[in-house]
Chains A and B, each alone.
Chain A
């Protein structure tokens, strides 16, 4: 049981390049999330999904797109990377709305946009 995994762990992009971050979970969780973490800002929600085939915008969605074609995978795309997107990206998942259910986090992806 690997939990939540993220690919890649680290990436350097040039301004204008595109890339996709992959999040995979093997816990059969319904809900999945993408956050970004910047110094002094805590974690901020980019997009989330409440089930296969669904996505919704979070707090800071601009410049990102997501897809959830399979229940276990949640992809985060950057179509045209900007230096402001330099950050650490975390994926998380949770079974649903049950009391006390926390979110389970992946190890993070560090992205540097030059």
Chain B
């Protein structure tokens, strides 16, 4: 199974900051990676698919990049509603796997 390691596991940032979250895979693949946002008590929300495809309705301050074993999620200017936990997920093969999550907290 492909293991996904997210870093950092948590971070503190201020509104307006640029935030970058990394997802490293135990084996390489092209672009079969998605990013989700989850707020407390809510179901996850799909933000990005295929490493860099922004979902309809997701603000353009979110972007994704990468291929192979290293992928990143960037929030260009953190907004109050962005404080949440973010997960990467690979869909290159089964079993599907998630990263451990990155909690973005208010500084």
Q: Do A and B bind each other?
A: no
